[in-house]
């Protein structure tokens, strides 16, 4: 999970995933968000981790790479991988459960709207 901007789609995924056992979230490192998603996260890793740890269904948050591999899953004793449909092509030896994305929401959409709102504020000076 990146959680660069936390939203209700993340909350719904966490809630659904927690029904399969103790939920451990692999939180993407800042450097991987910059490298792979081409964004500088709005919140640093430690703050994104703090937010996720405060959610009642989250057992543990561990640092993870953007591209997960079988070695990572084995090292962290992950039995089931729960993911959003944007990662549906990933395959592991482990059981993989893929949930559809929450419609009409993403961190990217929120980021674009925030940028648009910021521009409007600059041009609305009276």
Summarised one tens digit per residue, pLDDT across range 64-113 is 999 999 999 999 999 999 998 888 888 899 999 999 989 888 888 998 89
Distance CA 31, CA 83 (A): 21
Angle at 73 between CA 10 and CA 84, to 5 degrees: 25
By the 8 A CB rule, do 118 and 102 touch?
Answer: no
**pLDDT value, residue 121:** 65
Distance CA 13, CA 48 (A): 16
**pLDDT value, residue 56:** 93
Say whether domain 8-123 belongs to CATH 3.40.50.620: yes
Give backbone dihedrals phi and psi of 64, rounded to 5 degrees, phi first: -140, 160
Checking if the pLDDT of 126 tops 60, the result is: no
């Amino acid at each position: 999970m990146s959680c660069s901007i936390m939203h209700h789609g993340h909350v719904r995924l966490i809630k659904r995933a927690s029904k399969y056992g103790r939920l451990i979230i692999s939180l993407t490192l800042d450097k991987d968000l910059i490298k792979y998603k081409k964004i500088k996260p709005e919140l640093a890793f430690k703050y994104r981790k703090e937010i996720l740890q405060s959610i009642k269904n989250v057992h543990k948050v561990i640092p993870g790479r953007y591209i997960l591999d079988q070695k990572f899953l084995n090292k962290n004793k992950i039995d089931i991988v729960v993911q959003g449909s944007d990662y549906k092509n990933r395959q592991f030896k482990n059981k993989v459960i893929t949930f559809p994305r929450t419609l009409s929401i993403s961190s990217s959409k929120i980021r674009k709207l925030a940028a648009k709102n910021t521009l409007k504020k600059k041009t609305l000076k009276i």
